Amino acid sequence: RASTHDRPRRWILDDAALLELARRMPKTPDELSRIRGLPATTVQRQGEALLARIATARAEPPEQWPVRTARSHVSPEQAAKVDEMLRLIAARADHNRIPSQCLADRWDVEKLLLGEDSPLLHGWRAAMVGRELLARLTADSNPKAAP
């Protein structure tokens, strides 16, 4: 739902509640209502949909479960570039009065730097700072020849 609405996942459902849902995999509305960190309004409005998704996940064979991807390691030079990009992100977030983590985190920036898909390439994040970061990366990788 977060990606559909182009919102940070934490704005839809807290990470701690998501982890608790994954650990307990509730089957009934009563079990769902006992999930710590899950707001009662979410249980009322989205409870049946959550339970249906959990049931679907429970029915999947283990070989179809998502595989956690290993984080790519960046070189010291790339890490310095990531830090520079994070400073720009923090400035844009501050200017727009939003927490910088809502705009992007280090992992999002590393993925952008490594040429992987990143939330910074889509939606409001791309408009706010992603396109500029991409342009800077392109300029850095293709310096103009000296006259």
pLDDT of residue 17: 83
Helix or strand or coil: residue 118?
Answer: coil
Residue 83: φ, ψ to 5°: -60, -40
Q: Look at the block and give the residue holding tokens 């939606």.
A: 123
- What pLDDT is recorded for position 4? 56
- pLDDT at 72 (0 to 100): 63
Distance of CA 76 to the CA centre of its chain: 24
Per the document, the length of the chain is: 147
Give the pLDDT score at 52. 94
Closest CA to 102 of 3, 7, 35: 7
Domains parsed from the chain with CATH numbers:
9-64 (1.10.150.80), 76-141 (1.10.150)
Q: How does 13-51 read in b/e, with b if 16+ C-beta sit within 10 Å?
A: bbeebbebbeeeebeeeeebeebeebeeebbeebbeebb
**Tell me, what's the pLDDT at 139?**
87
Nearest alpha carbon to residue 103 among 114, 94, 116? 94
- What is the residue-level pLDDT of the chain in tens, covering all 147 positions? 545 555 554 556 777 888 888 888 999 999 999 988 888 888 898 899 999 999 998 899 988 887 766 666 788 889 999 999 999 999 999 999 988 888 999 999 999 999 999 999 999 999 999 999 999 988 887 666 444
pLDDT, residue 15, reads 77
